[in-house]
Structure formats: C-alpha cells, structure tokens
C-alpha cells in the first residue's frame, strides 16, 4: 500500500463567485477539511460560472494525467447541484464521467439525512474520470462540508482502490504486488 | 418568494384504465392530495396506455411552456414503474428528462421503507423538463400516495428553487432579486 | 401464479479466477444460496476476465431466449463492481440493460449497511434484459452473498412480476389471467 498523500483539487461553481459578487467560502472550507482530515495536498482550485461546457471541459482537463504532472486522486466540485434554473454541474459531470458511482452519494445523503433532510434535494453525482474520483457537492458551505465529512472514513480506501494499490476486499492490488503501473481502461 | 399556487398535472399510465376496463383511482387520489396538502391547482389530467412513445411525447408536451399558457410546476405520473413486461414509464421519462434527480426518489423510498419494503421494487425516476419537475410514481393508489406523501414537506421548496425564486440555501434567487424572468437553460 | 422454479445463472468476473490463478469461491457461494434459499435451478455458470466487451456480450447472450431453451429469470454477476482500474462490470451491464432498476441495489445497500458500510463502495447496478433480471454483485464472497441475502425476500415477487404472472399490486397479471405469453417490449 502506498502512503503518498491524496492529491486533491476543488472547483467552485457559482455565477456570483466567478464574477466577484460573492466571496467563495465553500471552496476554502473543503480545502481545509481535505488538508486537516485526510492529509491531502491541494494541487488545484478554481471558480467557474454555471456553464455546462466550461465545467465539463474543466473536469476532463484536470482529470487527464499530463506527464510529468502528478495524477489527481480526488476532484471535488461545490455548487450547481440543485434545482435552480442554472444548476447544471451534474449534467457537466455526467458528460465526462467514465464509471459512475451512485453508491458514494447515496452513502453521503444517508449519513447527512438526520441533520439535513434537504440533502436529498442535491442532484450531485460521483464517478471516475481516468484515475480521478469526481464528487459534485452542493454549493452551500454547510451542505458541501457535511457531505464531504460523511465520506471521510471511506475516501482513503476508495482512492487506494482506484490507484490499484489494493483490491476491494483489502488484498494487495496488482500494482502493489507487481510494482507495475496499472493503466486505466477507457 | 412568490406565493402563486403550485400548478400540477397528473398522468395515469395503465393499459386497463386507458381502455375503461378498470377505473383509475390512483390519479384522483394524487389530485386530491396535491390540492388539500399543497394547495396545488390541477391544470391537466389524462390516462394513457403503457406505450413508451406516447408517454414520452405527453411528458414533453405538457412540460413545454406555450404562451400565454401557464408553466407547469409539477407533473406526477402514476403507473408503469414496476417490472411487469409492459412497464416502461421510467424509460419514457428518461428520454425527455433534462436534469435527473435521483435524490428525490431515494428520499421517498427511504421514508416509505418502514411501512412498505416493496417501495424499492418501483423503478420510478424524477427530474426536470424545462421548468417542470417530473416524478414517476407507482401505479397502486397506496404506493402512489405514500410516495407523494413522503415528499410533501420538501416539494414546495424544490418548486420555488426550480422557479428561480430562491437559492438552495434559502437566499432570494436571481428572479426574486431582480424581478427578471429566469429562462431555463437547455 | 406459476410455481415453476426460478431459473438462474451466475457469472464470475475476475481476471485472476479466469486464468486459474485464484479459485472462484463467490460464484459457488451464490449458487448454493440461490438453490437452498430460493429453490432456484442454476442453468449456467462461467468465469470471465474483466473485459467490458466480453462481459456485455455474455450478459446479452444469456438473456436472449433461444427456443426451445428456457428463459433465464435471474442473472447474477460477482466481481468487477468496485473502483479498481479494471473494474468495469457495471459499465458492461449498462450497455445492455433495457430497463434499469436502481431501487434493488439501494435496498440491498441499505440492508447491508449496518454490517458493512463499505457496501456503498460497490458500483453495482441492476436492471432487466428481455425477460431476465440482471444484478451485478461485488466480487468478495462475503460482499456478494450479503447483498444477495438482502434481496432474498423480494426476489420471488420481482421475478413473478417480470414473468407477467402478477401485477405489482399482487393482482393476477395478464398472462396468468389469459394464459397468453406476454412478449417483452424492447
């Protein structure tokens, strides 16, 4: 099993934050939680408006390994997951996700439900793009951090599995056993 | 925040009801609940057979605003969500839904589970078509009304958000703040 | 209602088992549970590597009724549902599933959650292909059998409904009432 820190990126999705009308607090809150709770290294952040094409392009670009750059393990977005007319983050994500992961969002919502029944109003989805796990979180600082918190215990194992370091059942994975790099299949 | 009543429509999906062999009781039960519990105005009802093309066309037609007609806030269907060979309502809905909303059905099933574990046999889905929220409910009067009941507390907020009247976090939305009409993005 | 036994098949998905490096124990465990708990007849088993095209072709082939062969009621796969780089069983299934059934997996995960929170790491999906219900279970013997066990009470009713023998609400279905064969609509 590798012990290299989780490489994470956070994308804030908000028309108003992208124009400087409102200050983004959700993005920084997620970065702080990633650093302190998971020991993650934040390698990228950005703020984009609620524009589906721009969001899909950003997801794909950030999740495409470009040598010698490091491969991103985890990409969190915050915002654009609700029912407001311009909320299209899940649609942007669905266009570029290669392997959907409904269970992760189900777990997050289930765990947030007692505190916040409205967590089920979020349309956020999750899935993998190349070697990166993408999770689309709600836009409010509370909604975003509560959902991330609900996944903190499971994310390190998820990322180790995605890296090919372990099997789902905890046995050493092919890359750990052989030292070879596992190439993701498209 | 606008206080105009929710404009709702109910589509009954049933081969037998559409032929007059069986009397539709699910549709009228849903209308009654919408009126008494949400103060909704029922603007359309119909009964269609389990034909995927007809259902998709009806969903799209009802959810397309035609000036000067009123925009529909909520479209409920009842029937065709199970595993029976002719059940294809979710497939019809998936063809025309623009923004899927898995969380709404998850919440409904979770809340119905204690009373009715078979609620998980329903394949119903939800999502938006233009400015309308579509929810595909099961065909039995009990299954349909129990699922709607499970969503009564959350639907007014969902619809206000969809109208652009509020943000997900409860702040006034763009249309409320500026008085402008928010056009839904395709 | 027909009392003919459930016809089931089990596909093990594993690079290592397909090469004989590891002995498949999940497949036999599922067969045993299907026989003893559901009285099912196991009509096919196989082991395939984690190759998306091969898996999709197998799902479709097994679920295509070929006269005078028997129609399969239930197809379980085990393996390839996680986040490991070569896990692509849900993607293979999604390519050939005609009517998705998210609720079945939701119910299984919900019931497994108390014992095994990691059940939510499985990306498994379910749905129908022609007259067959396909469920993609995790690869570990424990994960696979726990999820199947969580569905044992609901599967007989699900399969009767899929056969057209009963309505979702328990009334006799069209085929039971008329004796006619119900053809599945594509």
pLDDT at C67: 75
- CB-CB under 8 Å, C138 with A173: no
| Chain C: residues touching A (Cβ < 8 Å) | 52, 82-88, 90-91, 102, 105-106, 109-110, 113, 117-123, 125, 138-140, 142-143
Among B6, B71, B102, the residue to mutate for chain A (most A Cβ within 10 A): B102
Distance CA A90, CA B128 (A): 13
pLDDT at C131: 96
Chain B nearest CA to C22, separation (Å): 36
Q: A45 has which bridge partners?
A: A10
Among A22, A23, A85, the residue to mutate for chain B (most B Cβ within 10 A): A85
Chain B nearest CA to A29, separation (Å): 16
Distance CA A89, CA A42 (A): 21
- CB-CB under 8 Å, A122 with B99: no
Q: By CA distance, what is C143's nearest residue in A?
A: A169
Residues of chain B contacting A139 with CB distance shorter than 8 Å: 168-169
C-alpha A100 chain-centroid distance? 12
Please count the helices (runs of H) and the strands (runs of E) in chain A: 8, 6
Q: What is the pLDDT of residues C81-104, one digit of tens each?
A: 999 999 999 999 999 999 999 999
Chain A nearest CA to B52, separation (Å): 24
| Chain B: residues touching A (Cβ < 8 Å) | 98-104, 106-107, 110, 128, 131, 133, 153-154, 157-158, 161-162, 164, 167-169, 173, 182-185
Distance CA B160, CA B154 (A): 10
Closest CA to B11 of B118, B121, B93: B93
Distance CA B81, CA A83 (A): 23
Distance CA A35, CA A41 (A): 6
Chain A nearest CA to C86, separation (Å): 6
Closest CA to A9 of A34, A43, A58, A47: A43
Does residue A176 have a pLDDT over 60? Answer: no
Intervals of chain B under pLDDT 50: 1, 168-186
**ipTM given for this complex:** 0.88
Chain B nearest CA to C160, separation (Å): 9
Q: Mean pLDDT across the stretch A79-102?
A: 98
Q: Mean pLDDT across the stretch A101-127?
A: 95
pLDDT at B2: 52
Q: Pick B184's closest partner by Cβ from A85, A138, A139.
A: A85
Contact status, residue B67 vs residue A67, Cβ threshold 8 Å:
no
C-alpha C171 chain-centroid distance? 25
CA neighbours closer than 13 Å in the CB half-sphere of residue A69 = 12
Residues of chain B contacting C173 with CB distance shorter than 8 Å: 84
Closest CA to C173 of A158, B85, B63, B139: B85
Q: What is the pLDDT of residues C125-165, one digit of tens each?
A: 999 999 999 999 999 999 999 999 999 999 999 999 999 98
Distance CA C94, CA C77 (A): 13
Q: What percent of chain A is predicted at pLDDT more than 90? A: 82
pLDDT at B66: 78
Q: How far is CA C154 from CA A110, B61, C88, C150, in A?
A: 22, 36, 27, 9
Q: Pick B169's closest partner by Cβ from A52, A91, A140.
A: A140
Chain A nearest CA to B126, separation (Å): 10
Could you tell me the strand order of the sheet in which A126-129 lies? A41-48, A7-13, A74-78, A132-137, A126-129, A99-100
Higher pLDDT, B62 or C184: B62
Distance CA C58, CA C64 (A): 10
Q: Mean pLDDT across the stretch A179-186?
A: 32
Q: Mean pLDDT across the stretch A104-122?
A: 94
Q: How far is CA B79 from CA A186, B16, B76, C122, C167, in A?
A: 38, 11, 10, 30, 11
pLDDT at B177: 37
Interface contacts A/C by beta carbons within 8 Å = 80
Burial of A116 (0-12, 13-18, 19+ CB in 10 A): middle
Provide the token pair at A70: 């490091």
Residues of chain B contacting A52 with CB distance shorter than 8 Å: 185
Dmax (CA) for chain B in angstroms is 52
- CB-CB under 8 Å, B88 with C102: no
Neighbours of A149 (CB within 10 A): 14
Closest CA to C77 of C127, C20, C40, C35: C127
Contact status, residue C131 vs residue C64, Cβ threshold 8 Å:
no
3-state SS, residue A153? coil
Q: Pick B161's closest partner by Cβ from A83, A109, A117.
A: A83
Q: How far is CA A3 from CA A32, A176, B66, in A?
A: 20, 12, 59
Distance between first and last Cα of chain A: 24
Q: What is the pLDDT of residues A49-59, one digit of tens each?
A: 999 999 999 99
Closest CA to A124 of A162, A97, A154, A98: A97
Chain C nearest CA to A45, separation (Å): 24
CA neighbours closer than 13 Å in the CB half-sphere of residue A112 = 28
pLDDT at B167: 59
Please count the helices (runs of H) and the strands (runs of E) in chain B: 8, 6
Q: B11 has which bridge partners?
A: B46, B77
Chain B nearest CA to A107, separation (Å): 11
Contact status, residue A155 vs residue C78, Cβ threshold 8 Å:
no
Distance CA C177, CA B37 (A): 38
Distance CA A27, CA A12 (A): 6
Cis, peptide link before residue A55, omega less than 30° from 0 = no
Neighbours of B4 (CB within 10 A): 10
The whole-chain average pLDDT of chain C stands at 89
Q: Pick B182's closest partner by Cβ from A85, A105, A118.
A: A85
Does residue A180 have a pLDDT over 70? Answer: no
Neighbours of A76 (CB within 10 A): 27
Distance between first and last Cα of chain B: 24
pLDDT at C179: 33
Q: Pick B107's closest partner by Cβ from A86, A120, A140.
A: A120
Return the sign of the alpha-carbon dihedral for residues A47, A52, A57, A60: positive
List all chains that touch chain C, counting a touch as 3 or more CB pairs closer than 8 Å. Answer: A, B
| Chain A: residues touching C (Cβ < 8 Å) | 98-104, 106-107, 110, 128, 131, 133, 153-154, 157-158, 161-162, 164, 167-169, 173-174, 182-185
Provide the token pair at C168: 């979702």
Q: By CA distance, what is A109's nearest residue in B?
A: B103
Cis, peptide link before residue B83, omega less than 30° from 0 = no
Distance CA B80, CA B88 (A): 6
DSSP-assigned letter for residue C145: H
Q: What percent of chain C is predicted at pLDDT more than 90? A: 82
List all chains that touch chain B, counting a touch as 3 or more CB pairs closer than 8 Å. Answer: A, C
Cis, peptide link before residue B68, omega less than 30° from 0 = yes
Cis, peptide link before residue A68, omega less than 30° from 0 = yes
Full-model pTM: 0.91
Distance CA B79, CA B59 (A): 14
Provide the token pair at A30: 């997620």
Burial of B58 (0-12, 13-18, 19+ CB in 10 A): buried
Does residue A179 have a pLDDT over 60? Answer: no
Does residue C177 have a pLDDT over 60? Answer: no
pLDDT at C2: 52
């Amino acid at each position: 099993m590798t012990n290299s820190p989780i490489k994470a990126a956070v994308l804030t999705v908000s028309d108003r934050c992208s124009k400087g009308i409102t200050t983004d607090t959700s993005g920084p809150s997620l970065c702080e939680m990633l650093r302190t709770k998971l020991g993650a290294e934040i390698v990228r952040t950005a703020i984009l408006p609620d524009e589906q094409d721009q969001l899909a392009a950003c997801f794909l670009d950030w999740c495409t390994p470009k040598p010698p750059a490091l491969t991103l393990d985890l990409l969190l977005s915050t915002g654009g997951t609700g029912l407001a007319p311009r909320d299209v983050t899940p649609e942007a994500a669905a266009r570029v996700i290669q392997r959907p992961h409904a269970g992760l969002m189900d777990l997050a919502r289930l765990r947030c439900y007692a505190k916040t029944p409205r967590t089920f109003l979020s349309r956020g989805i999750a899935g993998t793009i190349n070697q990166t796990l993408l999770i689309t979180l709600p836009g409010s600082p509370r909604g975003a951090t509560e959902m991330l918190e609900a996944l903190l215990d499971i994310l390190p194992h998820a990322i180790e599995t995605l890296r090919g370091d372990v099997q789902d059942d905890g046995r050493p994975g092919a890359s750990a056993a052989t030292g070879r790099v596992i190439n993701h299949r498209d």
